[in-house]
Amino acid sequence: MLKRDIYVFSGVGLLTVVLALGVWLGSALPTGSWGLSFRQEGAPPIGTAGADQLGRYDAAYLGDTSEKVLYLTFDAGYENGCTEQILDTLKKHNVKAAFFLVGNYIQRNADLVRRMVQEGHTVGNHTMHHPDMSKLSDFNAFSRELSDLAELYEQTVGQPMPRYYRPPQGIYSEENLKMAQQLGYRTVFWSLAYVDWNNDAQPSREQALSKLLPRTHPGAVVLLHSTSKTNAEILDELLTKWEEAGYRFGTVEELFPKREDCL
């Protein structure tokens, strides 16, 4: 269901052209899949859109790059038996994460969702049905995908859903960002991820760490999938290595200025 959530550029050529074209067109945001270009180990990557461009629409992909801080996020379209272990590890390290969930997940895993909330994690909006939101040009159709999930969440946990949104598959358009902003949502992209979603070809511990650790950078918004058995198995080691490297863990709330409806 979430097999296209990560779209990372391996080189810089195409992304450079996209960014240059955006400048030439007056800093217009390109439509398509969120992408990253890593140019230097340990340094923040360049995103398909710049931080300033995204900021106009209450969107972000990076946090404070002047501080050794990481923002841990998980996407989940279904439960694969890994979330309890992930939550246990987060609790052990006293790390608060954000879980971006779809309707199917909340409907089938209410106890896990309630546990996330009880243990201080943020549950964000990944839409009700996980469609390509860039194809929804009608405001009402776009709004229903978010509002239906928010209503389901409130019925499940007894409190309003925090207004943080992650586009399914990382596919977005400038119009989408405007509509999300009009609905009071902050859009959360990411600056560090790897191919962890394919349950038929899970990476080994060594492969996972070799992808994540060299690309770790100050202010990184980390995207992992809670469906990944590898992630569940390595999370304790991964968090320990990040802690030993001097990183602290922030929350998605810290990515944006404080606002009453996000508390």
Which of 75, 56, 54 lies closest to 5, judged by CA?
Answer: 75
Catalytic residue among 121, 130, 217, 225: 225
Assess whether 225 carries a catalytic annotation. Answer: yes
Which of 190, 209, 123 lies closest to 162, judged by CA?
Answer: 123
- Long-range contact pairs involving 145-149 (C-beta distance under 8 Å, separation at least 24): 146/180, 146/183, 146/185, 147/183, 148/103, 149/101, 149/102, 149/103, 149/106, 149/125
Q: Which residues pair with 249 in a beta bridge?
A: 70
- Long-range contact pairs involving 90-93 (C-beta distance under 8 Å, separation at least 24): 90/119, 90/121, 90/235, 90/239, 91/119, 92/236, 93/236, 93/239, 93/240, 93/243, 93/249
Angle subtended at Cα 194 by Cα 153 and Cα 91, rounded to the nearest 5 degrees: 50
Catalytic residue among 5, 58, 75, 196: 75
Assess whether 75 carries a catalytic annotation. Answer: yes
Give the active site residues.
Answer: 75, 225
